[in-house]
Amino acid sequence: MNITRIFKIYIKEIKEIIRTSGLIFILVIVPMIIYPFMLYYTEQTALKEKNKIDSASLSIFIKEPKLLPNLSEYIPSDEKIKILKNGNYEKIDKDCNLIISLEKQPDLFQSGYSNINATLIYDSTDKYSLKALNKFEEILLDVKKEITYERFDEKNIPSDIMTPISINTKNIASVKKITGNLLGNIIPFLLITFIMSGAMQIAVDITAGEKDRKTIQTLLISPAMRSDIIISKLLVVITVSLFCGFMNLLSMYITVCFMKNSKQILNGMNIDIQSILLGILVAIPLIIFLSSILTAIGVASKNQVEAGLYTMPLFFLDFLPLIALSSVEIANISNSNFFIPVYNTALAIKLILISSFTWQHILITVFSNLLYSAFFIFLCIKLFSNEDVIFSGIGDTVGIFFRKLFIKR
């Protein structure tokens, strides 16, 4: 293995990528435009919709209002709520956001008091109807409490007899742990997306793409060893993956800084530089691992179309281990979890963000991913060193390996 040749081929590939304006547009321009626009537009749309709903007047129709004649007195004066008194509304529409059906219940225990059954009829697909439901659930709870206290006063019964147990809650989780738990479920998805989007196109282009363009023969007849060539190509894929992930995360961070609620968001994150550096350290072996797999697929593929057929399912398969991430019990994590590719990195990053990691977890994650990477790097070298594999498809490549394993020459 010649380091000088590897470096020269690496620089050549990087220059070709830089000269490809389309790839530069995807890797640099798109993250700096798409994410700011997407996040800003989402924030503005959400704020506009919230303000629209908050300022809207709600219309409520009450069936049998005489059963609760004082209900309107419990409606706060600052609430834009209109009680519909005329008409017979049977469905939820723009004129009626909520229907309250009051029905008198029989006095089963001869207490002398009549109870009322209140049915709130709403439309879960209507935002105004949902708002009206939430408002009147609170109002009816206040009415219920007030009537209960009045009845106790009439019977000279202390009102505290209704509260034998006072339930209070105290959240001992720190701000860093709360936000870290939230970000720990989001960042791995973003990280995998950014890594794969950067590595996939480049890995396919500099391997299977060169087969399509008939330029791979030039490298094969050069003085460089096959291992030098494939190592340099793999380094290019890793470099682009790192750069693409960095640009996307940087773009999202800059966008958040310019959002209206940026101070609350940034203060809520409360992430120190040590956590960021440790997260990057854990992510690098995963980047090498995914890049080596994609490069191996590109080398074994006959053309870009075939490579695309195999890399796209891999893109979605990488998300399967992340599905269980949000439901994992942090207190019951075993070391075996940190041997599972992709999942181990996502879990380690989550533990880092909530400050619950151990160095044993970090070391297992890093070294297991490096071990998997070494296997696929070795596979890349073996594939690229075999001309029968280079000029065949993946199906033919599998057959070639089986023949070499089981047929004695």
Whats the size of the chain, residue-wise?
A: 409
| Spatial CB neighbours of 305, under 8 Å, sequence gap ≥ 6 | none
Pick from 21-35, 194-208, 295-309, 363-377: least confident: 21-35
- Record: fold of 57-162: D-Maltodextrin-Binding Protein; domain 2 (3.40.190)
290 burial via Cβ count (<10 Å: 0-12, 13-18, 19+): buried
- Pair 114, 90: CB distance under 8 Å: no
Beta bridge partners of 117: 103
Higher pLDDT, 216 or 342: 342
Provide the pLDDT for residue 374.
93
**Residue 44 phi, psi dihedral angles, 5° rounding:** -65, -40
Percent of the chain with pLDDT over 70: 76
Asked whether the predicted pLDDT for residue 62 surpasses 80, the reply is: yes
Asked whether the predicted pLDDT for residue 54 surpasses 70, the reply is: yes
Average pLDDT over residues 246-260: 68
Provide the pLDDT for residue 259.
59
- Pair 87, 63: CB distance under 8 Å: no
- Pair 126, 97: CB distance under 8 Å: yes
Asked whether the predicted pLDDT for residue 4 surpasses 60, the reply is: yes
- Pair 197, 30: CB distance under 8 Å: no
Report the amino acid identity of residue 235.
Answer: L
SS (H, E, C) the chain: CCHHHHHHHHHHHHHHHHHCHHHHHHHHHHHHHHHHHHHHHHHHHHHHHHHHHHHCCEEEEEECHHHCCCHHHHCCCCCCEEEECCCCCCCCCCCCCEEEEEEEECCCCCCCCCEEEEEEECCCCCHHHHHHHHHHHHHHHHHHHHHHHHHHHHCCCCHHHHCCCCCCCCCCCCHHHHHHHHHHHHHHHHHHHHHHHHHHHHHHHCCHHHHHHCCHHHHHCCCCCHHHHHHHHHHHHHHHHHHHHHHHHHHHHHHHHHCCCHHHHHHHHCCCHHHHHHHHHHHHHHHHHHHHHHHHHHHHCCCHHHHHHHHHHHHHHCCHHHHHHHHCCHHHCCHHHHHCCCHHHHHHHHHHHCCCCCHHHHHHHHHHHHHHHHHHHHHHHHHHCCHHHHCCCHHHHHHHHHHHHHCCC
d(Cα 275, Cα 266) in Å, to the nearest integer? 15
d(Cα 23, Cα 202) in Å, to the nearest integer? 9
The pLDDT tens digits of the residues spanning 345-359 come to 888 888 887 777 888
The pLDDT tens digits of the residues spanning 270-295 come to 556 777 788 888 888 988 998 898 88
d(Cα 228, Cα 37) in Å, to the nearest integer? 42
Local confidence band at 409 (pLDDT 50, 70, 90 cut-offs): very low
Domain residue spans of the chain: 3-39+173-406, 57-162
The pLDDT tens digits of the residues spanning 209-231 come to 887 777 777 777 777 788 888 88
Higher pLDDT, 24 or 227: 227
Q: Is the pTM of this model over 0.75?
A: no
Asked whether the predicted pLDDT for residue 169 surpasses 50, the reply is: yes
Residue 208 corresponds to which tokens in the numbers above? 């299977």
- Pair 194, 26: CB distance under 8 Å: no
Of the candidates 232, 181, 213, the one whose C-alpha atom is nearest the C-alpha of residue 1 is: 232
d(Cα 243, Cα 251) in Å, to the nearest integer? 12
* Strand pairing report for 81-84 and 98-105: unpaired
- Pair 132, 92: CB distance under 8 Å: no
Longest pairwise C-alpha distance within the chain:
103
Provide the pLDDT for residue 69.
80
Residue 352 CA neighbour count, 13 Å, CB half: 27
| Spatial CB neighbours of 265, under 8 Å, sequence gap ≥ 6 | 256, 259
Of the candidates 3, 1, 23, 2, the one whose C-alpha atom is nearest the C-alpha of residue 14 is: 23
Of the candidates 93, 35, 409, the one whose C-alpha atom is nearest the C-alpha of residue 259 is: 35
d(Cα 226, Cα 384) in Å, to the nearest integer? 6
